[in-house]
Amino acid sequence: MSESKGFNKLHKGVQKWIWSQKWTSLRDIQEEAVCPILDSDCDIVISASTAAGKTEAAFLPACSRLMEQHPNGIGILYISPLKALINDQFRRLQSLCKILDISVTPWHGDVLRSTKIKQQKNPNGIVLITPESLESLLLNRGSWCSKAFNELCYIIVDEFHAFIGTERGCQLQSLMHRLEFLIERTIPRVALSATLGDMNQVADALRPNKKLPCKIINSTVSHSDLKLQLRGYLIHAQQNERTVSSIGEIACDLYKILRGKSHLIFANSRARTEEIAARLSDMCKQDLVPNEFFPHHGSLSKEIRESLETRLQKEKFPTTAVCTMTLELGIDIGSVDSIAQVTSPHSVASLRQRLGRSGRRGEPAILRLFIPENEITVKSHLLDRLRIHTVQCIAMINLLLKKWYEPAISNKYHFSTLVQQTLSVIGQYGGVQASQLWVLLCESGPFSSIDQALFAMFLRSLAEKGLISQLGDGQLVLGYKGENLVGHYSFYTAFSTPDEYRLEFNGKVIGTVPIDKPLTQEQHIIFAGKRWEVILVDDKHKLITLKKAKGGTPPQFSGDGLNVHDIVRQEMQQIYSEKQTPVYLNEAALLALKEGFDYFHALNLDSRQIIQMGNMVHAFPWLGDRVTNTITVLLQVYGLKADSFGGVIDIRNCTLDDFFNTVKKILYVPQITSTELASNIPDTVIEKHDPFLPKTIRDIGYGSRTFDVDGAYKWLTQIVSSTHDQVEKFQPSKC
DNA sequence: GACCTGCTGCGGATTG
């Protein structure tokens, strides 16, 4: 340790703590972070997987600086997307901060008011907060903030990747910017993030206006070895009415392979999570052994989730969590023996995150993928015949091994969050000039894509809706409706949440179900891994009462589509073309893959991307969902009956001539903008405050986040020019 | 044919 350059620069008290932890050395990211954080003249992104010591990499030097500087007021502001993570970090920071005599204060909706009042009276040390609670502080206690944060040394943002490209992430950017504006000083930002494809994009998201340089610290430690298996399953046609109920064979294998140790099973949807957990519990019961399989997802009550997290942490009993994304983020559950992935993961980056949970103390990480494909019948769709799921998994594994990850989502416009931030700033200062507001939020802030003219139009629409009004001297103040909106506690979140029913058993809430997928009396359901009957639906109190029962299927949950990246589809095309056959497939997966290859080559898909079958035309751009969705809507606008799924575009009642003539028509006129394309979508109310915006403004935001117009035109141009005989048939005079 | 997150201020009753 004494040879470590970083260690020697740390404060004596911090060194003492490190000795007490019996660490023999600092990890690479910790070593590398010491100097730039101590110098505090730049922002820093620390990127590594879960449990790589990112928290210490940030806090050891940051606390060292606090010990030397002794700021008057709060020294470090730590911002986390999860309350559970704040509680974890609060526990983890205890011993270090006790030695240093720095106070740590958790600050979120579940924290006792007395704790907050204590910090309000004597602001100091480290505050661990959510974006929503920070929003409330700026809005309601602006002048307290300017004093309390006056000598703030660092802002540390945990799980930063979870914020990027989202409304909540835009809110976070705005909050950090407003805080700096308030204290008239730039504060170094430290982001702790998973590894994404382009880390410079992560730096841009951390400080969009680039007023400080950003240093990127990427973990160079290669991951421990990976043991990998892809297991194929055939779902028989007659069972196929509900995919989730045909999961029996997979559940049997999961039981045989996983029982007796601790694992995570990622099942991609809450319904499938419940189905698998219930089947696994049933098998334990049948074998008269204690149950060790439990579901974990966002609709389960906090108590049920926490008791499972604690059981995993304690490592006393073998425990397998069947889970959704909830166990992908950094909540402390220790590490598990292996990861099972049922159905294809949504992204390479998320597969990487999930893998980070496996591999105990230098043991290889173990990943098993359980991939169902549908039995082929006369009615089967091309995608089933191509065995698209198996190939998508192989593509994602190829990319994972190449260390390619999806880049962060870039999203230029967040009008819904601009509504929130506009109202919040006006509420904070009481009254603001429109020009000041534009400079703060747009010119120097995170809404930099919005020019003065667009901002003026935006403000006029807020005034029309009664959210704001203008005084004689030009000052903007909150209108009646604006006061109401800002005054309600639901104002602090940038994202919207649909109404839900609470599910209750014996007077205890066990979770929630969405209100738009109602349950009915006497219906049998699976929830929290157990089987129930609905005995009462109370619409007035949004409460559903349950009793124990047998049988049943999971309730329906709502959700949006998924977004596969261009590079994943291109990798898939290459796998088909080259007939790549990896070694980690079991016999069934191997058979499925061979069937897929045979069909791909029977259709000559290695040399063409457009085919006609019956009265349908199928297009295979081998590009991501943003591009295929854009092409699909373009074709629809020009009158074709187009639909897309899984990267393939189906056009009904269409011939190759119809298709190519339409594409020619599209290309004959100047390129449409994403906003124009969105104007054809009837309902563009998606985000929380969209109802306050006119459709013209909503379409700008909707178009830019949904469509990739350049990508679509690039493909359309290429498909026309590479199909010579079709070019001959085209007659522009007909357009 | 997808997932996830979050929340104030104040009045009134109760307790030490």
pLDDT in tens, A261-307: 999 999 999 999 999 999 999 999 999 999 999 999 999 999 999 99
Say whether pLDDT at A448 is over 60: yes
Question: What pLDDT is attached to residue A363?
Answer: 86
Checking each nucleotide's C1' against the CA of A323, the nearest proves to be B3
A734 — pLDDT class (breaks 50, 70, 90): very low
Query: Residue A451: exposed, middle, or buried by beta-carbon count in 10 A (0-12, 13-18, 19+)?
Result: exposed
Q: How far is the CA of A540 from the C1' of B5 (A)?
A: 26
CA-to-CA distance for A104 and A657, rounded, in angstroms? 69
Say whether pLDDT at A1 is over 80: no
Say whether pLDDT at A613 is over 70: yes
> pTM of the full predicted structure?
0.94
3-state helix, strand and coil shares in percent for chain A, rounded to the nearest 5: 45, 20, 35
Cβ neighbours of A371 (radius 10 Å)? 24
Contact in structure between A268 and A324 (CB atoms under 8 Å): yes
Question: What pLDDT is attached to residue A362?
Answer: 77
Average pLDDT of the residues in A471-492: 95
Average pLDDT of the residues in A553-570: 87
Contact in structure between A55 and A31 (CB atoms under 8 Å): no
A410 — pLDDT class (breaks 50, 70, 90): confident
Helices (H), A101-235: 113-121, 131-140, 142-148, 167-183, 199-206
Q: How far is the CA of A111 from the C1' of B13 (A)?
A: 21
Please give the share of chain A, as a percent, with pLDDT higher than 70.
Answer: 96
Q: How far is the CA of A12 from the C1' of B3 (A)?
A: 44
Q: Which residues touch strand B (CB under 7 A)?
A: A 81-84, 108-110, 113, 130, 132-133, 136, 140-141, 166, 168, 243, 268-271, 297-299, 324-326, 346, 489-490, 492-493, 495, 497, 557-563, 643, 645
- Please give the structure tokens belonging to residue A519: 């349950």
A5 — pLDDT class (breaks 50, 70, 90): confident
Checking each nucleotide's C1' against the CA of A493, the nearest proves to be B6
Residues present in chain A in total: 735
Helices (H), A467-520: 480-487
Average pLDDT of the residues in A411-417: 95
CA-to-CA distance for A368 and A254, rounded, in angstroms? 10
A66 — pLDDT class (breaks 50, 70, 90): very high
The alpha-carbon radius of gyration of chain A (Å, integer) is 27
Three-class DSSP category at A396: helix
Question: What pLDDT is attached to residue A459?
Answer: 98
Question: What pLDDT is attached to residue A497?
Answer: 87
Pick from A559-563, A571-575, A726-730: least confident: A726-730
Average pLDDT of the residues in A364-387: 94
- Please give the structure tokens belonging to residue A376: 């082929």
Q: How far is the CA of A110 from the C1' of B16 (A)?
A: 25
Mean pLDDT of all residues belonging to chain A: 93
Average pLDDT of the residues in A406-430: 95
Pick from A49-63, A73-87, A111-125: least confident: A49-63
Question: What pLDDT is attached to residue A499?
Answer: 87
Q: What is the pLDDT of residues A224-251, one digit of tens each?
A: 789 999 999 998 876 544 545 568 999 9
The residue with tokens 């104007």 is A679
Question: What pLDDT is attached to residue A222?
Answer: 64
DSSP string for A325-369? GGGTSS-----BSEEEEES--S-HHHHHHHHTTB--TTPPEEEEE
Roughly how many angstroms between the first and final C-alpha of chain A, as a whole number? 76
Q: How far is the CA of A560 from the C1' of B3 (A)?
A: 9
Q: How far is the CA of A562 from the C1' of B2 (A)?
A: 6
Q: What is the pLDDT of residues A173-198, one digit of tens each?
A: 999 999 999 999 999 999 999 999 99
Nucleotides of B under 7 A from a protein CB: 1-10
Name the most confidently modeled range: A325-339, A398-412, A568-582.
A568-582
Question: What pLDDT is attached to residue A245?
Answer: 55
